[in-house]
Amino acid sequence: MKVEDQAAAVAARLKLLNPRVLENSIRHRVENGVVVYVEVIDASDLANLAPCGPLTGLQDIYLTGNFRNPTDISGSRG
């Protein structure tokens, strides 16, 4: 899967599992053909980071807002 398609799929899955998060508030950065950075502009209603798990090159997750009541942060583990 192309890296941009992979990033779009992760953003869509994040949105599906966290319906109050706006999809256009999810950004990413690619380096050397892999997603290395994910940012959620307002993570106040983000409860599930599991969709980030398949991003094996992910180095940083940046969340703004009041990140509260997370239910699954497995996607943030290295």
d(CA 23, CA 11): 7
- Between 3.30.70, 1.10.3470, 2.60.40, 3.40.1000, what CATH number should domain 3-76 receive? 3.30.70
Is pLDDT above 70 for 75?
Answer: no
pLDDT digits (tens, 9 = 90+) for 21-39: 887 899 999 999 999 999 9
pLDDT at 76: 61
- Cα 48 to Cα 1, 14, 33: the distances in Å are 23, 7, 25
pLDDT at 46: 86
Looking at every residue in the chain, the average pLDDT score rounds to 87
Which whole number is the average pLDDT over 45-73?
84
CB 44 within 8 A of CB 25: no
pLDDT at 78: 53
d(CA 71, CA 8): 22
Whole-prediction pTM value?
0.82
